[in-house]
Amino acid sequence: MLVILKRDREGLNREAARIIASAVRRKPSLTLGLATGATTLGVYAELVRMHREDGLDFSRVITFNLDEYFGIPPDHPQSFHHFMHENFFRHVNVKPANIHIPDGTVRENYEEYCASYEASIRAAGGVELQILGIGRNGHIGFNEPASSLGSRTRLKALSQETLDDNRRFFAPGEEMPRCAITVGIGTILEARRIVLLAAGPSKAKAVARAIEGPVTASVTASALQLHPDVTCIVNEDAAAELAQKDYCRRVLNLTAQFTPNRLW
Ligand code: GLP
């Protein structure tokens, strides 16, 4: 795994947006896997800026989001549909027909629905660049601890930690969804390239376990160690518990020298 250490969130946002923009410029019809969460907000803002000021064109890009809360409509202020629309899609030119976000309102035939989401990823040729955040418990998407490392898109019960972390976004007294539809670890690992973003001290333990710990379903982000092309962009706070920071810096310098295409 290539680990890029950034001093602050601004550096992380710029680096992640640079990688996405350069992938879109190289292949305008890129299939892009997208994530939600506070960590991605600044990245979307930077991409919106690049669209407005530098003409970054998303008109042929196809997007697949990782997950959606189960049981809430797309216009609910906490839905990931709403998050994506407000923070990204309504400001850029991705064609509505090219946007895919799991539907949290399916009422029956869940397995069929989830299989159809997988099928649409396959029909698009697979995800070429997957952006990920990480939960405090090391989850990616909503693949909570003990998820199968071969899992596919499915209905997933949220862990207590995730419920506690995300409850504050819901109105007082409002019932928070207990489940989500999420792509699986197996699905994520099929992306050609993966970029994991982590910022803030609350992620330090999860980051260290994901990057330096054993591969374990207890920290589902650790499954990324099995993938041949993962770049982790981590700010100082989130990198605090990494033991190999100096080595990461050395690897990055040598990568820039010998295989700079890994940094595009
Ligand atoms: C949610 C999402 C994850 C995301 C995580 C971290 O749980 N399902 O995909 O990585 O939040 O979010 P934040 O960046 O807000 O810490």
Centre of ligand 1 from the C-alpha of residue 37, in Å: 4
Question: Of all protein residues, whose CA lies closest to atom 5 belonging to ligand 1?
Answer: 135
pLDDT at 165: 87
Centre of ligand 1 from the C-alpha of residue 209, in Å: 17
Q: Indicate if the pLDDT at residue 264 is higher than 90.
A: no
Active site residue 190: no
Catalytic residue among 13, 137, 143, 235: 137
Phi, psi of 37 (to 5 degrees): 110, 160
Q: Indicate if the pLDDT at residue 201 is higher than 90.
A: yes
Ligand 1 pocket: which of 44, 84, 139, 196 to mutate (most atoms <8 Å of CB)?
Answer: 139
Q: Which residues, other chains included, contact 57 with Cβ-Cβ below 8 Å and sequence gap of 6+?
A: 24, 28, 51, 93
Residues with CB under 6 A from ligand 1: 35-39, 66-67, 133-135, 141-142, 162
Q: Indicate if the pLDDT at residue 246 is higher than 90.
A: yes
Query: Amino acid identity, residue 249?
Result: R
Taking residues 233-254, report their average pLDDT.
97
d(CA 167, CA 192): 33
Whole-angstrom CA distances from 217 to 99, 137, 159, 184, 220 are 30, 11, 14, 12, 5
| pTM for this entry | 0.97
d(CA 178, CA 202): 22
Write out pLDDT tens, residues 60-108.
Answer: 999 999 999 999 999 999 999 999 999 999 999 999 999 999 999 998 8
Write out pLDDT tens, residues 14-42.
Answer: 999 999 999 999 999 999 999 999 999 99
Three-state DSSP class for residue 220: helix
Q: Which residues, other chains included, contact 257 with Cβ-Cβ below 8 Å and sequence gap of 6+?
A: none
Question: Of all protein residues, whose CA lies closest to atom 3 belonging to ligand 1?
Answer: 141
Centre of ligand 1 from the C-alpha of residue 217, in Å: 17
Write out pLDDT tens, residues 181-191.
Answer: 999 999 999 99
Instruction: Assess contact for 203 and 161: CB atoms under 8 A.
Output: no
d(CA 185, CA 140): 8
Instruction: Select from 240, 182, 190, 186 the least CA-distant residue to 211.
Output: 240
